[in-house]
Amino acid sequence: MPTILIVDDSPTIRRMVRASLATLTPQCLEAGSGLEAIEALAVQDVDALVLDLNMPDMHGLDVLRFVRGHARYRATPVLVLTTRGDADSRSAALQAGASAYMTKPFVPAALSGAVKDLLSHVDAESPR
């Protein structure tokens, strides 16, 4: 069973993401801020992150750079899920190491499919 960390300052979005991923039967952890995400990563291994960019205490790009800067999570898939649909935001996220990029509002099946695809690449490269 994969463990997925959902990072978004909106409890409603976190619930929607969790419900969208239910078909993957993951263990979902939640963080309401970038700092909470980093704390969660310090104590729990995760197989993937679904990460918002716009958060009050720490921008999602900073969280992404933190994740990519640590050997433990360097290869962990990170799907950025954000309201920012502009090309500059997409480019910045991908350059910082995002594995995939989706905008809100999202289609639950598309989100689930994207996370499933990211997890399958991880499984193919280094099975647990």
- How far are the Cα atoms of 50, 55, 109, 124 from residue 102, in angstroms, in the given order? 10, 16, 12, 23
CA distance 20 to 86: 24
CA distance 11 to 17: 10
Location of structure tokens 């920012």: 84
CA distance 27 to 21: 10
Mean pLDDT of the chain, nearest integer = 94
**pLDDT above 60 for 124:** no
Question: Is 3-125 assigned to CATH 3.40.50.2300?
Answer: yes
Q: What is the pLDDT of residues 36-84, one digit of tens each?
A: 999 999 999 999 999 999 998 999 999 999 999 999 999 999 999 999 9
Return the DSSP state at 99.
S
